[in-house]
Amino acid sequence: MTSDPFVFDLAHQTVRDLNAALHALPPGSNETLWRVENPRGLHAIAAGVDADAAIEIGGSVGYYCAGMNKRAAITVRGNAGVGVAENIMSGRVHIKGDTSQAAGATGCGGTLLIDGNASARCGISMKGVDIVVKGSVGHMSAFMAQAGTLTVLGDAGESLGDSIYEARLYVRGAVKSLGADCIEKEMRDEHRAQLFEKLSLAGLAGEVDVSEFRRYGSARTLYHFHIDNLGNY
Amino acid sequence: MTEKPAAPRTLPRHSATFDDYTLSEIRRAAATGIYDIRGGGAKRKVPHFDDLLFLGASISRYPLEGYREACGTNVVLGSRFAKKPIELKIPITIAGMSFGSLSANAKEALGRGASAMGTSTTTGDGGMTNEERGHSSLLVYQVLPSRYGMNPDDLRRADAIEVVVGQGAKPGGGGMLLGQKISERVAGMRTLPVGIDQRSACRHPDWTGPDDLEIKIEELREITDWQKPIYVKVGAARPYYDTALAVKSGADVVVIDGMQGGTAATQDVFIENVGIPTLPAVRQAVKALQDLGLHRKVQLIVSGGIRNGADVAKALALGADAVSIGTAALVAIGDNDPALEAEYQALGSTAGAYDDWQEGRDPAGITTQDPDLMARLDPVLAGRRLANYLAVLTLEAQTIARACGKSHVHNLEPEDLVALTIEAAAMAEVPLAGTNWIPGKNGGF
């Protein structure tokens, strides 16, 4: 038996009220189930949550939904604007629709699952988050990506992984072009196992064949400035 | 037979255009194939606060008695929107300098010195360390494009937040920390491999332009429950418009950094040729706040080349609420000390000119991650030196303010100032000394 959720209606209450209530949750609170109605594209919904709560948002959200999330499981039943789950630390953010630019930007941990497509710069400067996109990602995705994984079941736009550090990129579809210092790399057993694990996080275990993916990462030629690499700068 | 006298010859003449430094740079570039990287700010001479003078009291102005009649120095920052504005006892703050570019001992010294004087320090492009938080009673946490070490816990334990759009040494440029300084601890805080060259992004990853910035600031306020003052820092390039846009975006405080402001490391050509000096930047930023009716309501912090209490007083007289120091603070704790001359010479430099901070070999133990070099800096002693220096800056600013009849340093005003040069008069919009002429403003003498 599950308890009734706490319902927040943003047609009548404010984002400030919602976030204040979420931030005030004491450790071990039983108020673990939240539902947010009428989000109407408002910004910073459920930003800065640090609680073991499940938050379901019943529509599309604006910028920075679930920003810097810790521990919470946040589901958006719609599309998300710029910077959804930016700098996510832990927990899980699930977008049922599409996302705008910079989804999961600088994310340090946790999981971001996007059922639709993600626009440009998905996973930019990511620092440990695992991002799974069921659709395609736009240009400059994983730009300067430092750590974590970006898994794309569809296609990737131009300049994937430009100036990438140690993040791992798995793409099933076509890659329009690779950015500076990003190369295709051998898909070994350890990578197939990692990919399977990430797909499992997204509830896709067994539904997608890991052998259909290609792996991309850093050639590490830009790790130290060298005049012979001038053409890449 | 008498020898024919030699015909008179002119002395060897060096070119003003191709001076010794320029020739050495051409040779260096030809030998290495790479631009010169260094720390610090612009070294070229630019119009600055030295080109202004205070008029002081006279028959029509009534001075205050030194050491007896009070002259306030406190400043409140963040009163526009933040639930918890911060109050500094002196109008001089410590600018953002990262752990990584600076040693842990240097950061601790800055915290100790600033806290002793009741003012704030600022993190930098590398996140917040526990030592820094522990030794800084007031700590400003920077949100930079790289977002190294960024996390909501540190946002909440900061006393204020500074969104860094740019800095005066390199408006439009990102950060740079060469591999020599990426120790295990620094690498861990930045989620990067040890020993690689680290280039921080020049653009923020999740916003573009003032409309986005407004929403970004809203998010930061939501995460911190609207408690923290939020600063926006820009390098001086278009300060009138940047100040107006920062205000439009919801900033509590605007920080303007002139081209004399230092950096940990970037290209020399960038430092010397991009951005404008601090002097005109102050006046333009103040004008923007005045035009918006928000002067003193949105506070203005000015940095870039602040060296003494006269500079502090002049910046405040032009309309700033506070100043910020970086290079001067490092010198106060021991940077470029002549006592280390032999070691600077061994590095191919000399005390007072050492600026290869990116190499991590600083004999003063400040711009390094080398444990042996870092151990040379006693953070307690260095903190005391910084506190002394801040005290002198404050006393000097008070001395000038009292001489102008002001019971608070914020009561200094442009009418207290004149300029020594036409350039400074035009930039600061104060009259050329001995005249009532402000270039571009009126035609009289």
Q: List domains and CATH numbers for chain B.
A: 37-411 (3.20.20.70)
B196 in contact with chain A, both atoms CB, cutoff 8 A: yes
Tell me what pLDDT residue B199 has.
Answer: 77
**Is residue A45 in a domain?**
yes
The average confidence (pLDDT) of chain B is: 95
Q: Which residues of A76-85 are buried (b: 16+ CB within 10 A; e: fewer)?
A: bbbbbbbbbb
Residue B59 has pLDDT above 60, yes or no: yes
Report chain A residues whose CB lies below 8 A from the CB of B147.
87, 105-106, 125, 127
| Mean pLDDT, residues A107-122 | 98
B224 in contact with chain A, both atoms CB, cutoff 8 A: yes
CA distance A153 to chain B (A): 23
Tell me what pLDDT residue A67 has.
Answer: 98
Q: Indicate the range of A130-144, B84-98, B131-145, B174-188 predicted with least confidence.
A: B174-188
Confidence of residue B156 (pLDDT cuts 50, 70, 90): very high
B191 in contact with chain A, both atoms CB, cutoff 8 A: yes
Q: Domains in chain A: how many in total?
A: 1
Report chain B residues whose CB lies below 8 A from the CB of A101.
206
Which pLDDT tens digit goes with each residue over A143-188? Answer: 999 999 999 999 999 999 999 999 999 999 999 999 999 999 999 9
Q: What angle do CA A71, A141, A98 make, to 5 degrees?
A: 65
Report chain A residues whose CB lies below 8 A from the CB of B197.
223-225
| Residue from B222, B217, B192 nearest B206 by CA | B217
The average confidence (pLDDT) of chain A is: 95
CA distance A25 to chain B (A): 13
The residues, any chain, with a CB within 8 Å of residue B332's CB and separated by 6 or more, are B113, B385, B386, B388, B389
Confidence of residue B66 (pLDDT cuts 50, 70, 90): confident
CA distance B97 to chain A (A): 21
Q: Indicate the range of A109-113, A199-203, A223-227, B27-31 predicted with least confidence.
A: A223-227
The reply to whether residue A125 touches residue B222, judged by beta carbons under 8 angstroms, is: no
Residue-range definition of the domain harbouring residue A211: 6-232
Give me the half-sphere count of Cα atoms (radius 13 Å) on the Cβ side of residue B279.
Answer: 20
The reply to whether residue A83 touches residue B226, judged by beta carbons under 8 angstroms, is: no
Residue B424 has pLDDT above 80, yes or no: yes
Confidence of residue B5 (pLDDT cuts 50, 70, 90): confident
| Mean pLDDT, residues B6-11 | 92
Q: Which residue did the predictor score with more confidence, B4 or B303?
A: B303
Q: What angle do CA B264, B269, B271 make, to 5 degrees?
A: 40
The reply to whether residue A224 touches residue B219, judged by beta carbons under 8 angstroms, is: no
A83 in contact with chain B, both atoms CB, cutoff 8 A: yes
| Mean pLDDT, residues B386-412 | 98
High-pLDDT (> 70) share of chain B, %: 99
**Is residue A220 in a domain?**
yes
Please name the member of A23, A125, A165 whose beta carbon is closest to the beta carbon of B205.
A125
Tell me what pLDDT residue B445 has.
Answer: 44
The 10 Å Cβ neighbour count of residue B271 is 29
**Is residue A1 in a domain?**
no
Strand stretches in B268-311, DSSP E: 299-303
Residue B193 has pLDDT above 60, yes or no: yes
The reply to whether residue A67 touches residue B219, judged by beta carbons under 8 angstroms, is: yes
**Is residue A157 in a domain?**
yes
Q: Per 3-state DSSP, what percentage of chain A is helix, strand, and coil (rounded to 5)?
A: 15, 25, 60
The reply to whether residue A87 touches residue B150, judged by beta carbons under 8 angstroms, is: yes
High-pLDDT (> 90) share of chain B, %: 86
Q: Cα separation of B441 and B445, whole Å? A: 12
Q: Cα separation of B142 and A229, whole Å? A: 32
Say which residue the tokens 């521990």 belong to: A71
| Mean pLDDT, residues A197-218 | 94
High-pLDDT (> 90) share of chain A, %: 88
B214 in contact with chain A, both atoms CB, cutoff 8 A: no
Q: In terms of DSSP bridges, do strands A168-171 and A214-218 run parallel, antiparallel, or are they unpaired?
A: antiparallel
CATH of residue A143's domain is 2.160.20.60
The reply to whether residue A47 touches residue B219, judged by beta carbons under 8 angstroms, is: yes
Which pLDDT tens digit goes with each residue over A55-76? Answer: 999 999 999 999 999 999 999 9
Report chain A residues whose CB lies below 8 A from the CB of B196.
165, 223-224
Tell me what pLDDT residue A227 has.
Answer: 67
Tell me what pLDDT residue A1 has.
Answer: 44
Q: Cα separation of B115 and B134, whole Å? A: 10
Determine which of A71, A162, A225, A233 to mutate to test the interface with B (most B C-beta atoms within 10 Å).
Answer: A225
Q: Which residues on neighbouring strands pair with residue A106, listed in sequence order?
A: none
The 10 Å Cβ neighbour count of residue B102 is 30
| Mean pLDDT, residues B135-139 | 97
A233 in contact with chain B, both atoms CB, cutoff 8 A: no
Tell me what pLDDT residue A224 has.
Answer: 79
The reply to whether residue B34 touches residue A63, judged by beta carbons under 8 angstroms, is: no
Helices B209-223 and B239-248 sit at what angle, rounded to 10 degrees? Answer: 50
A188 in contact with chain B, both atoms CB, cutoff 8 A: no
**CB interface of A with B, residues 105-134, below 8 Å:** 105-106, 108, 121, 124-125, 127-128
Which pLDDT tens digit goes with each residue over B27-43? Answer: 999 999 888 999 999 99
Tell me what pLDDT residue B353 has.
Answer: 96
Confidence of residue B444 (pLDDT cuts 50, 70, 90): very low
The reply to whether residue B223 touches residue A47, judged by beta carbons under 8 angstroms, is: yes
Say which residue the tokens 């036409």 belong to: B422
The reply to whether residue A64 touches residue B216, judged by beta carbons under 8 angstroms, is: yes
| Mean pLDDT, residues A188-217 | 95
The reply to whether residue A48 touches residue B216, judged by beta carbons under 8 angstroms, is: no
| CA-based torsion, A88, A116, A138, B206: positive or negative | negative
Report chain A residues whose CB lies below 8 A from the CB of B219.
43-44, 47, 63-64, 67, 83, 86
Q: Cα separation of A120 and B137, whole Å? A: 41
CA distance A119 to chain B (A): 12
| Mean pLDDT, residues B49-69 | 93
The CA–CA distances, whole Å, from B115 to A182, B257, B383 equal 46, 23, 9
Tell me what pLDDT residue B415 has.
Answer: 96
Tell me what pLDDT residue A2 has.
Answer: 55
Q: Which residue did the predictor score with more confidence, B234 or B60?
A: B234
Residue B45 has pLDDT above 60, yes or no: yes
CA distance B176 to chain A (A): 11
**CB interface of B with A, residues 225-254, below 8 Å:** 225-226
